[in-house]
Amino acid sequence: MSYEHTEYWIVDKNIDQERTKAQINEAGMWIKKGEVIAFPTETVYGLGANALDEQAVRKIFAAKGRPSDNPLIVHIAERQQLDQLVTDISPQAEKLIARFWPGPLTLIFKKKAAVAPSVTAGLDTVAVRMPDHPVASALLQAAGVPVAAPSANLSGKPSPTSAEHVRHDLDHKIAGIVDGGKTGVGLESTVLDCSGTVPVLYRPGGVTKEQIEAEIGPVALDLALHSAQETPMSPGMKYTHYAPAGTLWLVQDRSRIPELVARSKAEGKRVGVLTTIEHQADYQADLVKACGKRSSLATVAADLYESLRAFDHAEVEVIYAETFPAEGVGIAIMNRLEKAAAGRML
């Protein structure tokens, strides 16, 4: 589907401004009408459609080029909307809702029939979260319906952390974009399956495994966390995701990076290095991109996708990336890098 014009609303996070209210209400009306609208959340920009309208949801898949067996996350504005979508909310899930909603935690439940079939990709479960972003919350209120929303990018590419990223990927492919500035967390939400006896972590994110376990005790890690599986139970599990156009290699021993860069440059390739502020001066390449501070992995998470997109803008052909400790938010960072590199590790 192609649109002659994609509507563009620049809104203020102070949603009480009259102009902002009017723009958000207009965008919400488009969602009510069955159209697809991109909007900011505290994680990344989402691409939203009415989760109860099958034809509207299919427009998400068409715009992104997303495989139809890859389920979506439903975003809600109020706790009571959850009862419209799911059954069997466990005491553990209730604890997590009380502690982390609104916020970057998605929970998986047994679904109700009201959820559009394409949202769940044929599964008997549905993933739901309540975003912690004033613009997202106001838009969901204005729409008045649960909103299915994956990241607002072309499928497989780095997720968007600004409206400009969305416009680059999806201009003329969707009805509108709500520009609420740069997102905060920078990585997609944590996904935890609460539909069974033991909660299972399917995707690490802004809420860490340690934080979850502090509330409800031990959770299981999905065996496919770092690989592809036949039937994805949540977004980000089966396909190569978050990938720049250039070939990305993860380098466990960063002392090897200068040699690897020299070898690739000798082959006539444009080369990039993904590092942090602490090590930026250690490398010479066509683009050396500092992605936050190693001493503060939250800053790495916030800058990761923007950094990967910068390599595309510089037409870099091969990228060598430092790796990060697999603890706390570092688990989420490495999960995204491993997906972006399709497992290429040196």
What are the residues whose beta carbons fall under 8 Å from the beta carbon of 191, sequence distance 6 or more? Answer: 73, 106, 108, 127, 201, 202, 203, 205, 234, 235, 236
Q: Which residues contact 219 (CB under 8 A, 6 or more apart)?
A: 192, 198, 199, 200, 201, 209, 212, 213
Report how far residue 54's alpha carbon sits from residue 49's, in angstroms, rounded to the nearest whole number. 9
Known binding residue 208? Answer is no
Q: Report whether 125 belongs to an annotated binding site.
A: yes
Q: How many CA atoms lie within 13 A of 331 on its CB side?
A: 18
162 is in an annotated binding site: no
75 is in an annotated binding site: yes
Q: Annotated binding residue at 149?
A: yes
If one counts every other C-beta atom within 10 angstroms of the C-beta of residue 110, the result is 16
Residue 129 assigned to a binding site:
yes
Sheet holding 271-275, edge to edge: 247-251, 318-322, 271-275, 287-290
Bridging pattern class, strands 147-148 and 46-50: antiparallel
Angstrom distance (rounded) from CA 102 to CA 278: 33
66 annotated as belonging to a binding site for a ligand? yes
Q: Is 19 annotated as a binding residue?
A: no
Cβ pair 50, 147 in contact under 8 A: yes
The reply to whether 25 sits in an annotated binding site is: no
Binding-site residue set for ATP? 66, 70, 125, 151, 159, 203, 242
Binding-site residue set? 43, 66, 70, 75, 125, 129, 149, 151, 159, 189, 203, 242
Binding-site residue set for L-threonine? 43, 75, 129, 149, 189
